[in-house]
Amino acid sequence: MLNFNTITVAFIVLLLALIGVHFFYSFPYYVFGILVLLYAVALFYGSYNLRSNFYLKTISSAQTDRPQIAISFDDGPTPAYTPEILNILNEHGVKAAFFCIGKRVKENEELARRLHEEGHLIGNHSYSHDMWFDLFSSKKMTEDLQLMNDTTAKVVGVKPRLFRPPYGVTNPNLKKAIRKGNFTSVGWSIRSMDTVARDARKLYEKVTGSLKPGAVILFHDTSKATLDILSRFIQHAREKGYEIVRLDKLLNLEPYA
Ligand SMILES: [Zn+2]
C-alpha cells in the first residue's frame, strides 16, 4: 500500500541505489533532484488527501449497498447558522454529526448542549482550528485535542472519540496526537465545498449529484448556502430512497469515550 512508510522506504532505497550507481557511472546531479521532488510531491499529496490514508487511517464512508448516508457539519457551533440548521434537522427528524471547534463550544455553551440534547453527535475538530495547526508539534496537537474534549465534557457532559482533522490535513505529528488521545479519525466522501460555494443552486447540484450508499457528506454550519439548501437536500435524498442515519451508526463507531 502506498503510505508514508512505504514511500519513505522506497525513497531511501532508490536514493542509496542512485548513489551507488553514480559511483560507477556518472550522470547529472539533477536526477537526484527529480527523486527528491517526487518524494516531496508524494508527501504533499498525502497531507492534503485525507482519503488516501497516507499518514493515518481515516474512515470516510461505509462499505455498504444499503441506501444509507450520513450528514456532518464542521466548524460550529455558531449563533449565525447552527440554530436554524438544527431547526431544519428537527423538522425532518434527521440526526447529524457536528465536528465542533472547542473554542466555539466554550463561546456557545447553550448551543453545544442543544446539539447533544436534540440527539446529534458531537465530534472533535480541535480546540483552536488554528491556521497553523498542521505545523504544531505532536505535543501541542495532543494538548489542543485534549482541551476540546475537556471543554465538551464540562459543557455538554460527553467526551468525543471521533476526530476530524482541521482542513482535512494530516501528517505524522497528527497521527501521534490521534493515537495518544485514542481518537478515531473520520473524514467524508462528499465534500460540498459549501464554504466557497458561489450560489446555492450549484452547491445543491454538487451534493445531490454525488450521492451513493454509505456516503458521508461534509457541510459547514458556518455556511449560508448550506442553510439554504439543507431542507431540499434532505427531501431529495429521501425521494431517491436514502435513509439519513447518524454518522456513528453508519460507520459503526463508538461516539464517546
Ligand atoms: Zn474545519
CA of 219 to the centre of ligand 1 (A): 10
CA of 26 to the centre of ligand 1 (A): 49
* Residue pair 102/77 in contact by the 8 Å Cβ criterion: no
101: in domain: yes
CA of 252 to the centre of ligand 1 (A): 23
CA of 104 to the centre of ligand 1 (A): 12
> Residue 163 is part of a domain; what is its CATH number?
3.20.20.370
44 and 63 housed in the same domain: no
CA of 30 to the centre of ligand 1 (A): 39
CA of 129 to the centre of ligand 1 (A): 7
195 and 68 housed in the same domain: yes
74 and 33 housed in the same domain: no
79 and 140 housed in the same domain: yes
pLDDT in tens, the chain (257 residues): 789 999 999 999 999 999 999 999 989 999 999 999 999 999 999 999 988 899 999 999 999 999 999 999 999 999 999 999 999 999 999 999 999 999 999 999 999 999 999 999 999 999 999 999 999 999 999 999 999 999 999 999 999 999 999 999 999 999 999 999 999 999 999 998 898 887 888 899 999 999 999 999 999 999 999 999 999 999 999 999 999 999 999 999 999 99
197 and 134 housed in the same domain: yes
Number of domains in the chain: 2
114 and 31 housed in the same domain: no
209 and 165 housed in the same domain: yes
Rg of the chain in Å (alpha carbons): 21
81 and 40 housed in the same domain: no
Domain that holds residue 30: 4-48
CA of 89 to the centre of ligand 1 (A): 21
53: in domain: no
CA of 174 to the centre of ligand 1 (A): 15
146 and 194 housed in the same domain: yes
209 and 171 housed in the same domain: yes
